[in-house]
Structure 1
């Protein structure tokens, strides 16, 4: 059910937003008509580049969302690898052999070859810091002829193709690597060529007519970086932007419902319970906390209905999870008897302190005494990882750059997991996590992942509450914009304005 708008912008705020937009989108209207017919697509992005659009940073996801930089492999909806710049691959122990697509050219006119792939992957493997997808992975690439690349890892890794789908391992032309930083301008292989970057304010892309996958329908993309959420929403409302990233919940209610799409994100808001010490060392009290939580009221009250009540750790962004999930047997709830607990969370995500306040009321009603400790994330992470809280509220990405949730589950719930806030040490959980991580990709791996999720849920070490959504705004004239839970696609070759 849609909740009514709770606030409207006062006249002074409207004036301020209009002034902001005038600066952000100045000249955009004159650039709307493309030289070869059709209209250019105007996009309002939330975060400006942090590393000059280097593909070795999180800026890589912008290059991917604009369809300018491509990878050897892409992922389908289930997270399985599909051909992209590579057409096929085979595994032999620690080595994977990739056959490259022929007839691909970079935006500077040079050809895609095994040597160019080796250069891009080598730059990523040698970077400091490494791209997240290669954290802890020893990867080397060698050319075998003009169109074959052999990728070898230090240990046998069933997820190499999925790793190579990460935008941080995009393949760029040799000229991108000639300076001190990686420069993606004019160096991609996608349907749109990045032609200009204006610092942290804008970027311009033009259609690349030599694209191997067929000419894009739109003549180009004009990007503006607009960190202010109110301004982004106003840009959609006023017609100054065609596609808008991350519309704030507070602004969504002020927009025509036909112009917004709520995209399920692979991100779960979870209450982690300390299984090592304190009240929640007792499994019956963990069960009592689980039963006391009313996630639906949190979704309605804090998220204004724009989230999904959790059924497990993995949400609707992974549609196969609910299909494979079975009921989990858990401990019976005990009596809290006035036990005092401290719940920690952080202010960096605005909704989390509200979630904490709601949980405090719910758990106190169940018989716990609850104290809250809310700080900035940088000042609380170390205490959370050290087990200083009885419980901790975290909004956590459940698939990392490989598109696979096994790494998240291991990190958060294995005895030696690097992000084990619950301090969980359970041999059964460890076995299930190890099995999931070592299973080949595909249906068998997905089943092993759900079995690992069930093993974690059975301990009540974590109580998943809700799965978040991101709200994307598309003008009525937009056709074919991508609504991607992994935030890898936005404007594709098929996206255009009618």
Structure 2
């Protein structure tokens, strides 16, 4: 179990982090600005066509045509109406009176440019895996979006932060996209300081309610202890992902636990190496002690996984059936395996230690590799590890898990760390994707999940709960299980009266 740091070291970390911000530590001197400490720095220069899009969304600087409500249903965003047409097409009416931060208007040309760029991008944004999307203008204030096959969840798909609409000037040559002064949200992205931070100011010309906060000062702080220290010392007003080991050091009023549609999964390389053998994958399945991970690493602030889809999607547990014919176990004979993970999420290296012990006890010889995510992702996707521990959001993009399952477990999935390719799984995912939202679609999703679990190429370990830290003087911070929203126009720092 992670031990507590000595007070002197904690103080040092807090002092070092204070240097990441330009403003005073005192909320009285911040002139209405919110200080935010985030877990991971940008991986792709804050292009919206990568996971960096979720930073732009959480800062409310980039906006999408559609947004999702708490139930995952589509609601108006930059589009006010949408209706299905013939030939797998949808017509979307654009919101009038919207201007991008560079002063140019939201119109059909801007939307066509943004979505066409996303559709042609390599690699494709995850939300467009398996989707052949085309878009054209229908006058100046509407667009027609079509797909090669029927896509009943296209409105939800268009809510993904990876399909945010930026001004045309943001899209440069060779796939370079610059989000500075290019969004349409209540905050304007003014500066990006590499991987250290970003600065946003209130958008005085926002089409909706104006932001109450004067701006947002962002610092990227991968070290979880330092993030917790920033909250405790008043350096940060909102802190992403407080490690469970730090919770006891914080005022309970600062700690907010949010159940997440996020699964900590052990991916096994089913294409090459020892785990090409299904019997050895089954041995891993039997060796894993999930409760030990939840109790000792997450200090019971997580849920033991029964499948890939967790408590954030309660219908999954109601529909899930046990795998009917699990693969027989082949006893390990000391095979050497490489178990890898990344250090950006503080708990994962500790999970790796426990799993290494469990797999060693089962008869494997385990080598561990731990690096920062930016330095390990490419090797993981290339299948260079036998096993990889990943914390993965399951409904991050569309509010529906099909995109995640397709990306991670289909033959052509762009994030297929398990190197899994089974026609039966692809067919099951295609069947689920063709159904409209509702009970039939949910049953098809669980049927596809059962096939994936039966492969033993992905061993779900636990479902995470994110611990979000907030300054008690901050009002209106958002606690979003989908990790799309964090600060909006109503979020404001209210200093304590002298």
Which of the five TM-score ranges fits, normalised by the shorter chain? 0.7 to 0.9
Mapping of 1:418-437 within 5 angstroms? 419=416, 421=418, 423=420, 425=422, 427=424, 429-437=425-433
1:359-380 deviation digits (Å, cap 9, x = unpaired) = 4554666xx4222132354686
Counterpart for residue 54 of structure 2: 61
Q: Aligned equivalents of 1:108 and 1:430: distance in 2?
A: 43
Cα shift at 1:295: 1.0
Matched, 1:321 2:316: yes
Aligned to 2:5: 8
Q: Would you say the 8 A contact 1:269–1:396 is kept in 2?
A: yes
| Shift, 1:30, TM fit | 7.9
Deviation at 1:400, TM superposition (A): 5.4
1:104 aligns with 2:104: no
Structure-2 change in CA distance of 1:361 and 1:163 (3 Å)? same
Q: Distance in 1 between matches of 2:451 and 2:306?
A: 14
Larger Rg: 1
Distance in 1 of aligned mates of 2:216 and 2:331: 61
Q: What are the residue-to-residue correspondences of 1:378-457 with 2, within 5 Å?
A: 381=380, 384=383, 389=386, 393-399=389-395, 401-414=397-410, 419=416, 421=418, 423=420, 425=422, 427=424, 429-457=425-453
What CA distance in whole angstroms lies between the structure 1 residues aligned with 2:448 and 2:203?
45
8 A Cα contact 1:424 1:461, kept in partner: no
Aligned residue number for residue 239 of structure 1: 234
- Asked whether the 8 Å contact 1:271–1:392 carries over to 2, the reply is yes
Aligned with 1:187 (options 178, 182, 197): 182
CA change 1:299–1:208 in 2 (3 A) is same
Matched, 1:72 2:65: yes
Aligned twin of 1:166: 160
The equivalent of 2:35 in structure 1 is: 42
State how far apart, in whole Å, the 2-side matches of 1:426 and 1:139 are.
23
For residues 264 and 131 of structure 1, the distance between their equivalents in structure 2, rounded to whole angstroms, comes to 25
Alpha-carbon distance in structure 2 between the residues aligned to 1:333 and 1:251 = 40
TM-superposed CA distance for 1:484, in Å, is 2.0
Per-residue CA shift, 1:181-213, capped at 9, x if unaligned? 433333322122233444444333233343333
Please give the alpha-carbon distance, in whole angstroms, between the structure 2 residues aligned to 1:176 and 1:65: 19
The question of whether the paired residues in 1 share the 8 Å contact of 2:213 and 2:491 is answered with: yes
Structure 2 gap segments, 5+ residues each: 371-375
Task: For residue 148 of structure 1, report the CA deviation from its aligned partner.
Answer: 0.8
Measured at CA, do residues 373 and 114 of structure 1 come closer, stay the same or move farther in structure 2, by a change above 3 Å? same
Q: Distance in 2 between matches of 1:17 and 1:374?
A: 27
Query: Deviations for 1:16-67, whole angstroms, at most 9, x for unmatched residues?
Result: 32442342123245886687xxx32221223333444333343322211111
1:86 Cα shift? 0.8
SS where residue 245 of structure 2 aligns? helix
Q: CA deviation at 1:406?
A: 1.6
CA contact (8 A) 1:70 1:167 kept: yes
| 1:211-360 matched pairs, under 5 angstroms | 211-272=206-267, 290-322=285-317, 324-331=318-325, 340=334, 342-349=336-343, 351-352=347-348, 354-359=350-355
CA contact (8 A) 2:10 2:225 kept: no
- Deviation of 1:69 (Å): 1.1
Matches within 5 A, 1:450-489: 450-458=446-454, 460=456, 462-489=458-485
Q: 1:57 to 1:410 in 2, by over 3 A?
A: closer
Deviation at 1:95, TM superposition (A): 2.0
Distance 1:10 1:477, change over 3 A: closer
Mark the CA change 1:52 to 1:425 in structure 2 (over 3 Å): closer, same or farther: closer
1:150: Cα distance to partner? 0.8
Question: Which whole-Å CA distance do the structure 1 matches of 2:329 and 2:23 have between them?
Answer: 65
Range that drifts further, 112-121 or 209-218? 209-218
State the alpha-carbon separation in 2 of the partners of residues 460 and 412 from structure 1.
14
TM-score normalised per structure 1: 0.83
Contact 2:269/2:417 (<8 A) preserved: no
Q: Is the 8 A contact 1:274 1:424 kept in 2?
A: no
**Equivalent runs, 1:364-375 vs 2, <5 Å:** 368-375=362-369
What is the CA–CA distance in structure 1 between the aligned matches of 2:263 and 2:200, rounded to whole Å?
A: 34
**In 2, Cα distance between equivalents of 1:286 and 1:188:** 46
Please provide the CA RMSD for this pair: 3.6
Residues 417 and 121 of structure 1, relative CA distance in 2, 3 Å threshold: closer
C-alpha contact 2:288 2:358 (8 A) present in aligned 1: yes
Runs of at least 5 residues in structure 1 that lack an aligned partner in the other structure: none
Question: CA offset at residue 71 of structure 1?
Answer: 0.5
How far apart, CA to CA, are the structure 2 residues paired with 1:448 and 1:474? 39
In structure 2, C-alpha distance between the alignment counterparts of 1:195 and 1:88, rounded to whole Å: 31
- Residue 476 of structure 1 deviates from its aligned partner by 0.9
1:230–1:102 distance in 2 versus 1, CA, 3 Å = same
Q: How many residues align?
A: 483
Q: Is the 8 Å Cα contact of residues 272 and 422 (structure 1) preserved in structure 2?
A: no
Deviates more, 1:415-424 or 1:19-28: 415-424
2:121 aligned with 1:122, yes or no? no
